[in-house]
Structure 1
């Protein structure tokens, strides 16, 4: 649909580990678009967010699949790849395909989104792709959606670095109900921790499940997925709460008196 330039260089990563089926499906789906290089964590690092490993050195090894894997976080993988491990700068970073949703508040914790965010921070158009469901039978659907976005970014560059968070229903491609440009919804607070006992009799805790959707009306990522559509949300990294700046300046007046 949108033929990319033959020299296109694509960097793939994820947070589920270099052996994850979603990563293999993504690499296969994008292979004919250019040179695909995979640099991913050596194990599942879901929930790692945007953490960098600064307290120890990192190593990079190559699997039989040809994928490179790092004993670090998703952010480490993209950072190493772009800032010196590779002898070229990728044209695009694609992270995924994650097994599970990354919608609403999930994006703050997601290692999938973090890998794409690192590419974005380094000035490279980046896309995070997640498959939303419970059976995870249709990675090919998410790979085809990712391919379309990569083709579009190659044929019509956005003009400035862009960070896209993409959630795809776990259905055959023909069953998708379109694609919607969305904003992030919001979840209720997380459910309580799950308390247990270790074999040694110690009290242990599992982090509880994410909260249910709270803000999930039309225009949100939750609403799009609920209605069988792909959700595409542009993200930014500026965390400044701009609406509170005037009130905070007034609140801080006492310090200048």
Structure 2
């Protein structure tokens, strides 16, 4: 994979991710899940809504496909969630909430713009230029019906592209011997994701479990005594990102350079708009210190 293709693949991910991820922070989403039957939001709603496309699966499937959450945390909510709300109802609630939240964050002028319609069509083409082989979470979402509203087409397409990349990323982590918690620890050590304490709490790991993972990673020469990546750790994480980009390149290589460039150009405007509108809480990410 040449540098130009890798850059295009990574940039498309970065500019599209904020459009999809509003669903994890929008108050409209929690309200929709409560109305669908869940008795609380938070992690129960997150696990159930994101996994709903898989059907009423057990905790093991959710932990495996989500990867870096403590399986014990997942088991507190799955399969109980399916006794409260059906997966089909949660899928519908999630899509509806995404549309309502995006309309609020973007405003009607952007929602009704030709630019949004164009981006929706381009991302749809990219998402459909994929194969589900070895990508369970992507395949589950790809099996859902496409919406007709361009705003929801855009959100669904970004969801598919996100899960497509995520499944490929997990495959790379597995090949490098990084299980869920060590993968999370090394990711925070890059300084590009959640702050370590935020990551630990959100993913349900105890301080002792986190410390034990750090100890093993030090013994393997991946992090140093300060918790920073060693040269070996940096090389492993860089290789994982390169492999993730390569595994995620098919939608963009098949879409073509010109259309891919257009996606990047258009998506920047919409991603900046949702961030500027306050879609994400401050203090979560390393870059927000």
TM-score, scaled relative to structure 2: 0.26
Indicate the structure with greater helix content. Answer: 2
The alignment's TM-score, normalised by the length of structure 1, stands at: 0.28
Which of 1 and 2 has higher RCO (CA within 8 Å, sep 6+)? Answer: 2
Higher strand fraction (1 or 2): 1
